[in-house]
Structure 1
Amino acid sequence: MSNKILGMGNALVDILTILESDELLHQLELPKGSMQLIDRDTMNRISGHTEEYNKNMVAGGSASNTLNAVARLGLPAGFVGKIGPDEVGEFYQADARANGINPMLFASENESGRCLVMISNDGERTLCTYLGASAELEAKDIVPSLFEGYRIFHIEGYLVQNYDLIRTAIHTAKAAGLTVSLDLASFNVVEANIDFLKEIIPGNVDIVFANEEEAKALTGKEPEEALQELGAMCPVAVVKIGKAGSLIKHGSDVIRVQGFEANCVDTTGAGDIYAAGFLYGFAKDLPLEMSGLIGSYLAARVVEEIGPKIQHERWSDIHKWIEQLLNVE
């Protein structure tokens, strides 16, 4: 059976800015830890306020971050998205290829999307996303051939505002026999699309990922009770509880997965990289607890760095850790 993983999401380039304090967030009226969709004028205004800060540019987007780590773990990975005819789009496509991802990128005449990531002193990140070309991915772009040879289809929750796209993609993936995975992505995205999520998850989504805030936004409940409700919606439910680890529900079984110590400097991508570790284990038919452990370990490693990716030189140690885990089991 194939263990290839396909992702679909917003093809974005992250522009990372480390804040001196949260004063700028208050000034711009941005809720700390949230994701805000912004227009081009707002992007330019925020960029103007951060001109004097140090910045770093990396290919990002939730599903893209997940697939990057999947490829680093050694599984074949593909990504579906849309980019524009500009340097940002070229950078995104080149980065995907350099990291072992097959980029299935549709072309737009508009400029590529980007995400302004403002990182607070405690590592929390606040996202302001200008979707640009990435928002133009449409239901008509989704054809059965995209899914050929893949086993798992992973969708980032930031796409759920496009109901026709999500319905078409999920139904096409299911018809092709793929396992469908959905990351809820952000509490405010969940709040804005709660009715659609409660419609589309049952009977269509096989694995759902949520952090505490996202789980509460969907269910109105704290992690353990939220897990029960999510677990009633789909076969495998995962609620991430930060440094305490995660909770996994499969049928009547509830699995508690430990967290790992980390020197946290930036939480950007922690949930995305957790999903990568979990899906890697799932694709390799490992027990769910082991999949969760790999996810937790990777999440602890990525928060030790600025940005949503684990640096190349650290992956050999990660592979050694996974080998040890498998041998112990």
Structure 2
Amino acid sequence: MSSVLGLGNALVDILAILENDQLLEKLDLPKGSMQLVDETAAQKVQEATSHIKKDLASGGSAANTIHGLASLGVKTGFIGKIGKDDLGEVFKKDMTEHNITPHLLESDTKSGHANALISPDSERTFATYLGAAVELSQDDIVDELFADYKYFHVEGYLVQNKSLIEKAYKMAKANGLITSIDLASFNVVEDNLEFLRDLVHNYVDIVFANEEEAKAYTGKEGEEALHQLAEGTEVAILKLGKEGSMIKRADEVVKVGIIPATSIDTTGAGDLYAAGFLFGLIQDLSLEKCGKIGSILSGNVIEVVGPKMNESKWGNIQKLIKEELN
């Protein structure tokens, strides 16, 4: 089976379930957004949530997708940068324990972490301190990294480092890899629109976006947004939350529903959908089956807190995929 290399911010998710949304107002964090914060602000969030029990998990959008693929038995690797600290160790250990080859560089800066604040309605709000993660630079991207891989998946959050993301895509294409991007967040798309469009048109084969990201990218909604999203790329996937997803390749448009699920926390839903979709694509399955496997993964991950699932969940997922393939 083909192998997938991910590139993203190496972050440790610090997950906290809120009793209500008042804390978000107090911390001045718009609900459902991903805000980049400095070390002081990150500390403030930690203190404001010190009474809440926290869960730690290696996170970051691309890392979540790679984790999902590794859990389905795909050979994977991940490029990122961590600090020489406990959180950096948590991240690295989590990768190696899940059979992901870690291409991790180290920095004297603290490891990046995302404070994920989960509202009672399961919407999540991120206060993200990028730390060492953001120090990954174009100089760290070398040809050898791409040698053993067929697919290259990148999170849109990296566009704040334009020279890094551009060089990585150029190198991946030069090495014959199939490339994908997850647009990551509507505010990221709004702030980097021209650059992102050029990037997708020039280097990206597969693009994933949710409704808000697609609207920020195209100015349109629904199927109109999908058609425009697909311009200049091979496959476009519009993730519609409870409505499932729409996928376009050339003239083919497919609509896929969701699986029944009880949502506790939507963290990682889009990332895991991408993992399921890429898993299907790697095996040359129809777009509909790719989308259905994406739905199976995202439907399962929203039933747990955080982007990681235990063995029994993955066992259940494998069973559902098998049924889907027969």
TM-score range, shorter chain: over 0.9
Runs of 4+ displaced beyond 4 Å: none
- 1:17-28 maps to which residues of 2 (within 5 A)? 17-28=16-27
Partners of 1:82 and 1:105 within 8 A in 2: yes
Cα distance between partner residues in 1 of 2:113 and 2:198? 30
- Consecutive unaligned residues of structure 1, counting only runs of 5 or more, are none
Cα distance between partner residues in 1 of 2:319 and 2:261? 18
Aligned partner of 2:101 in structure 1 is: 102
Cα distance between partner residues in 2 of 1:32 and 1:79? 30
Cα distance between partner residues in 1 of 2:101 and 2:217? 33
Aligned partner of 1:227 in structure 2 is: 226
- 1:227-306 maps to which residues of 2 (within 5 A)? 227-306=226-305
Shift of 1:272: 0.3
Cα distance between partner residues in 2 of 1:247 and 1:233? 17
Aligned partner of 1:166 in structure 2 is: 165
Shift of 1:203: 2.6
Aligned partner of 2:59 in structure 1 is: 60
Cα distance between partner residues in 2 of 1:233 and 1:211? 18
- 1:22-41 maps to which residues of 2 (within 5 A)? 22-41=21-40
Aligned partner of 1:185 in structure 2 is: 184
Shift of 1:26: 1.4
Aligned partner of 2:127 in structure 1 is: 128
Cα distance between partner residues in 2 of 1:253 and 1:212? 20
Partners of 1:6 and 1:77 within 8 A in 2: yes
Shift of 1:305: 0.3
TM-score normalised according to structure 1 size: 0.98
Aligned residues: 326
Aligned partner of 1:310 in structure 2 is: 309
Cα distance between partner residues in 1 of 2:250 and 2:30? 36
Shift of 1:48: 1.2
Partners of 2:296 and 2:320 within 8 A in 1: no
Cα shift readout 1:197-228 (whole Å, capped 9, x = no counterpart): 01111031000000011101111111211101
Cα shift readout 1:138-170 (whole Å, capped 9, x = no counterpart): 001111110012110000111011100011000
Partners of 1:83 and 1:133 within 8 A in 2: yes
> SS at 2:24's partner residue?
helix
Aligned partner of 2:13 in structure 1 is: 14
Partners of 1:170 and 1:180 within 8 A in 2: yes
Cα distance between partner residues in 2 of 1:317 and 1:263? 15
Cα distance between partner residues in 2 of 1:289 and 1:116? 35
Partners of 1:243 and 1:261 within 8 A in 2: no
Partners of 1:9 and 1:61 within 8 A in 2: yes
> SS at 1:321's partner residue?
helix
Cα shift readout 1:300-322 (whole Å, capped 9, x = no counterpart): 00000000112222111211111
Cα distance between partner residues in 2 of 1:15 and 1:96? 17
Paired AA for residue 293 in structure 1:
K
Partners of 1:14 and 1:117 within 8 A in 2: yes
> SS at 1:323's partner residue?
helix
> SS at 2:84's partner residue?
coil
